[in-house]
Amino acid sequence: MALPENYNYYTRDEWCNFHGKNQLNTVTQEELHSIAALNDRISLKDVQEIYVPLRHLLHIYLHHYQHLVEDRADFRGVAATHTPFLIGISGSVAVGKSTTARLLQLLLSRSLPNQKVQLITTDGFLYPNAELKRQGILNRKGFPESYDMEKLLTFLDQVKSNQPQIEVPRYSHQVYDVLNDHPDIIDQPDVLIVEGINILQLPSNQQIYVSDYFDFSIYVDAKPDLIEEWYLDRFKVLLDTALQDPENYYYQYAIGDRDEALKMAHRVWRDVNLKNLREYILPTRNRADLILHKTQHHVIDKIGLRRY
């Protein structure tokens, strides 16, 4: 699918100059160190050239948002209530949403030391495997019907209403299921980053879109053939780590024939994740405020900024 026309597109050479005057445009040694620990394959050049300007853009949006919340309250003659700023990150399975989300969380936490920046993934709102099986849709994991969208909308509503201590179930790739214990706790953040394939999708009821809750949204984009490579690479890593752990969902594949396991992963990519990308995820791309387009080795080669 061709890139949408309602965006301005920039090469990284153009984008890396978008800092504004007086902006501290370097990443500190300390930040570099923690970013390297986050994912040792992440390109530090991307951090400097792509994410530092993006952080600056997010500061602009956040600044205006916080003033707007105050001015709106002023208009109504009431005191402003704390209302979190929500950033959504979407894109295909295995395109690198979690990595982008964790990186932004880290950069924003460092640049906004007095603000609380939290992160969750919508995978925690998937129905548990037992329920997917009951409904006969275990092979549709990730498709719209596999998520409890009402629960996700209620959660987003609670966040925007600034409720304390909201519990969100966690999803584990290793267990291949939603976990019953150790939920994430979202507790009145200033900024919440929500990462998931479905954050720009159509409404589950007629009144409100999930995307209505987001104050800034990012779509991580790449050619499907490349994403398949990244999906298979991650599958190999999951196999390697599963070898030590019979409880791990991937153990059954790790101890068997590796070529067969890889063929199975290729089929799952083609019949589930690629299908989901084409039918439900890619069509939401033109709703994002920003498109981060990746090429080989996860290098970002193009950035699209929505005009309208």
Cβ-based nearer residue to ligand ATP, 141 or 287: 141
98 binds, among ligand PAU, ligand ATP, none (CB under 5 to 8 A by kind): ligand ATP
Cβ-based nearer residue to ligand PAU, 107 or 132: 132
Nearest of 234, 225, 277, 218 to residue 92 by alpha carbon: 277
**257: how many CB neighbours lie within 10 A of its CB?**
10
39 binds, among ligand ATP, ligand PAU, none (CB under 5 to 8 A by kind): ligand ATP
User: Counting every residue, how long is the chain?
Assistant: 308
Shortest gap between Cβ of 7 and ligand ATP (angstroms)? 21
DSSP type of residue 164: S
Q: Tell me: does residue 273 bind ligand PAU (CB under 6 A).
A: yes
Cβ-based nearer residue to ligand ATP, 83 or 284: 284
Residue with tokens 């979407």: 90
Count CA atoms closer than 13 A to 177's CA, side-chain side. 15
Cβ-based nearer residue to ligand ATP, 83 or 118: 118
Q: Which residue is nearest to ligand ATP (CB)?
A: 96
Q: Using the rule CB under 6 A, which residue among 84, 91, 142, 169 binds ligand PAU?
A: 142
For residue 203, give both structure tokens. Answer: 């409404």
234 binds, among ligand ATP, ligand PAU, none (CB under 5 to 8 A by kind): ligand ATP
Binding mask 117-136 for ligand PAU (x = CB under 6 A): ------x-------------
For residue 147, give both structure tokens. Answer: 């998520």
Q: Tell me: does residue 141 bind ligand PAU (CB under 6 A).
A: yes
Cβ-based nearer residue to ligand ATP, 214 or 230: 230
DSSP type of residue 126: B
What's the alpha-carbon Rg for the chain, to the nearest Å?
A: 20
In order, the DSSP letters of 250-285 are THHHHTS-HHHHHHHHHHHIIIIIHHHIIIIIGGGG
Q: Using the rule CB under 6 A, which residue among 69, 112, 264, 268 binds ligand PAU?
A: 268
230 binds, among ligand ATP, ligand PAU, none (CB under 5 to 8 A by kind): ligand ATP
For residue 93, give both structure tokens. Answer: 């399975």
| Cα distance between residue 32 and residue 106, in whole Å | 10
Cβ-based nearer residue to ligand ATP, 57 or 199: 199
Of residues 46-75, those binding ligand PAU (CB under 6 A): none
| Cα distance between residue 80 and residue 61, in whole Å | 18
Shortest gap between Cβ of 103 and ligand ATP (angstroms)? 8
Q: Tell me: does residue 93 bind ligand PAU (CB under 6 A).
A: yes
For residue 91, give both structure tokens. Answer: 């894109």
For residue 83, give both structure tokens. Answer: 């209302």
Binding-site residue positions for ATP: 91-98
CB distance 201 to 284 below 8 Å: yes
Q: Which residues bind ligand PAU (CB under 6 A)?
A: 93, 123, 141-142, 197, 268, 272-273
